[in-house]
Amino acid sequence: MKKTISLLTVAMLLVCALTGCGGNKEAVATDGSTSMNKVIVALGEAFEADTGITVTYNATGSGAGIQAVQEGRCDIGLSSRDLKDEEKANGLEGTILAYDGIAIIVNPNNPVSDLDIETIAKIYTGEIKNWKEVGGDDAEIVLIGREAGSGTRDGFESITDTEDQCQYRQELTSTGDVITTVASNPGAIGYASLASVKDTVKALTVGGVAPSEETIKDGSYVIQRPFVLVTQKDAKLTESAQKFFDYITSEAANEIISSAGVVPAN
């Protein structure tokens, strides 16, 4: 008797754990990149005001968002990196929503204000270790980065061609942590989405070009990456999800995308 009951309980728990929650038909579920928070929330609010359809956003990270689309747990996945070939082979499709500039940030007290992309790569690979080598004070350079798998790290390392070679002193798990750390350490250098950079840190110009919407759009600011909407190639979106998708990729949404600090692609 006892055995039967305990077996039943375990079975019941398994069923509860394995059947995820089914999505609400009316709402549009998005899931993914934490860097896309600002832009997706702004778009979702505007869309809801227009149509009355709610948009939910789950900030889990690019990898998790892509997984969620694949498993059908959300309508639209959000990725702040291009889809990998293996992900495309799994029947996923990416549509670029916007471009995000990655700002290189230093402490405001740091006299250095311009570096070119090669120098940045040399700094991050540990070839240049002291600020005086690039015209700054005599202080060790403290490299602040993001954790392995982060879209920003992936974006930064692929753009500067420093994959797997960065000699990080700290690997932090959020943009906010990076900014806080750089703001509190005079020798620190870090990278973060331009949209989230605050006055507590100084954004460097790269090769003489300051990061801004114009320079990202015309391609002269080189450290930038795409914000990608991920959908299943074969499966059709629900009616409300399709509406949302069309809305955010239309020109009408550009103003909202710009106001979130990133550059619209369409």
Positions in the binding site for another protein (CB under 8 A): 2, 5-6, 9-10, 12-14, 17, 34, 60-64, 66-67, 70, 84, 87, 139-142, 147-151, 163-164, 168-173, 177, 180-181, 184-185, 187-188
Structure tokens at 84: 């990998």
Give the residue from 120, 141, 93, 87 showing the smallest Cα distance to 211.
Answer: 120
Give the residue from 218, 214, 183 showing the smallest Cα distance to 198.
Answer: 183
The nearer residue to another protein, 103 or 178, going by C-beta atoms, is: 178
For the residues of 155-189, what is the DSSP string, one character each?
HHHHHHT-TTT---SEEESSHHHHHHHHHH-TTEE
d(CA 263, CA 98): 5
| Cα–chain center distance at 163 | 17
The nearer residue to another protein, 12 or 252, going by C-beta atoms, is: 12
The nearer residue to another protein, 64 or 262, going by C-beta atoms, is: 64
The least distance separating another protein from the CB of residue 162, rounded to whole angstroms, comes to 12
Place of tokens 């928070």: 37
The nearer residue to another protein, 48 or 177, going by C-beta atoms, is: 177
The least distance separating another protein from the CB of residue 150, rounded to whole angstroms, comes to 6
The least distance separating another protein from the CB of residue 167, rounded to whole angstroms, comes to 9
The least distance separating another protein from the CB of residue 173, rounded to whole angstroms, comes to 5
The least distance separating another protein from the CB of residue 119, rounded to whole angstroms, comes to 19
The nearer residue to another protein, 169 or 217, going by C-beta atoms, is: 169
